[in-house]
Amino acid sequence: MVKLIPSIILLVSSTCAIAAAAPHTLTLHRQAKGSYKDMAASEGNRWAKKATSGVHTPAINDFFKYNIEVSIGHPPQASYPIFDTGSPYLWVSDQVYDVPKSASARSLNSSITLAYGAGNVTIDLYNDTISLGKDLIIKQELGVASNLTALQIQTEGVIGFAPEAMALAYTNQFSYIPTPMHNLIASHKIGKYLFAVDFRPLRNTTVNVANGQIDIGELDRSKYTGDVIYSPISKKSPFKYFWSTDVPKIKFGGKTMVSDLSAVLDTGSPLILATWKILQEIFSDIEGLGTDGRVMTVPKSQVHKLKDVTFELAGGSITYKTEQYLVPSFLEPDFGPTNGTQYTFFGVFGEFGLPLILGEPLMEHYYTIFDGVNKRVGFATRK
């Protein structure tokens, strides 16, 4: 889920001298809840849920969002905020975190309003102890929301993993709020500003099964093969404030269709989001291209003409195969009647000056790396 940026900010990368020998690994599972189409219609908020059991921390993907289990306060209260690389803050609903019940909670006597593509949320700021696992316990600034109806999504909150730069976006309004990754590094819980996601696409409607992991602090080299395709964070505005990459070319098959773009990597998006103009240019060889609200559709008669979509980056190229971006038949009932069309995981998006967002459906086919030390993102072929 991409958060709006109201002011000019600087990109900051935090590192620590301590080197972690192994990543803190979060195991992902699926759990069906909600509607994919509804999620996409509200800008797409697909998240990641992780629970607390040491270095092997289970996470639940409730079909269209991944949430992380975060224990807050003393005694601990469990919450499941959305894992989001498109925003920097931690905040939860007052329905899951009762401040007066925590002996370690401290009010910061301040409140702020955050803007998301799905709506705005106002949070009251506190400081308390949070736990992401027995080895990841820190003091953390966090927000508490009392009314989430404006977001139009089913969520207990958000835990942001965006670059620290985005946390500076509101410094003209209030003091800097450290991100969870900042505090993990400052507390020497991890040695590097580095994490990677190993999402797995649904193969059928079976849920509650292990299907991916998140690694924090180090990479798990057993999860990928070959070289990593690294690409520096874009220097263009506003992309330089996000996990992003320049995309010099987008190809349909082997033919260049679009040139000179930049893209945000957002685990909070359930689609590959682009402006309608860009989608029309990429798929200009397809007759009858259309949309159903947010989702791009293709006439069934044209499906045989579809080709792989390749994003060329600074360090190489990544390919989104045709069979990967077509919505599988078992998910079609969730999208709605087909009416002779084929749904895709491409969505129409034109807000916030971000013409291209590479969401989770693409990352599900790569081991995707977010490297704050070297200010770059990476893609590797999953084993």
Judge whether 369 and 217 are in contact, CB under 8 Å: no
Phi-psi region of 188 (alpha: psi -120 to 50; beta: other; left: phi over 0): left
What integer pLDDT is reported at residue 168 of this predicted model? 75
Which pLDDT score is estimated for 68? 77
Q: How far apart are CA 178 and CA 246, in angstroms?
A: 27
Q: Which DSSP letter does residue 3 get?
A: B
Q: What is the pLDDT of residue 61?
A: 45
User: Nearest-CA neighbor of 61 among 43, 78, 82?
Assistant: 82
Strand, coil or helix: 28: strand
Cα 116–chain centre separation:
13
Q: What does the pLDDT read at residue 224?
A: 95
Extract the tokens encoding 286: 């397809």
Q: What is the pLDDT of residue 379?
A: 98
Mean pLDDT by 10 residues, the chain (383 residues): 43 32 57 47 31 33 65 93 86 94 96 76 94 88 82 74 80 76 94 90 60 84 95 93 96 97 89 93 96 89 98 96 93 82 89 81 94 97 91
Please report the pLDDT score of residue 350 as a whole number: 64
Please give the class, per CATH, of domain 24-216: mainly beta
Beta bridge partners of 27: 58, 213
What global pTM score does this model have?
0.85
Q: Determine the residue type at 269.
A: S
Residue-wise DSSP of 163-214: -HHHHGGGTTTS-----HHHHHHHTTS-SSSEEEEE-----SS--S-EEEEE
Q: Whole-angstrom Cα distance, residue 205 to residue 96?
A: 29
- The domains spanning 24-216 and 222-382 adopt the same CATH topology: yes
- pLDDT for residue 337: 82
Tell me which fold the domain 222-382 belongs to.
Cathepsin D, subunit A; domain 1 (2.40.70)
Contact 219, 37 (CB under 8 A): no
Supply angle C-alpha 323, 326, 327, rounded to 5: 125
Instruction: Write the CB contacts of 333 (distance below 8 Å, at least 6 apart in sequence).
Output: none
Where exactly are the structural domains of the chain? Answer: 24-216, 222-382
* Omega of the bond leading into 238 within 30 degrees of 0 (cis): yes
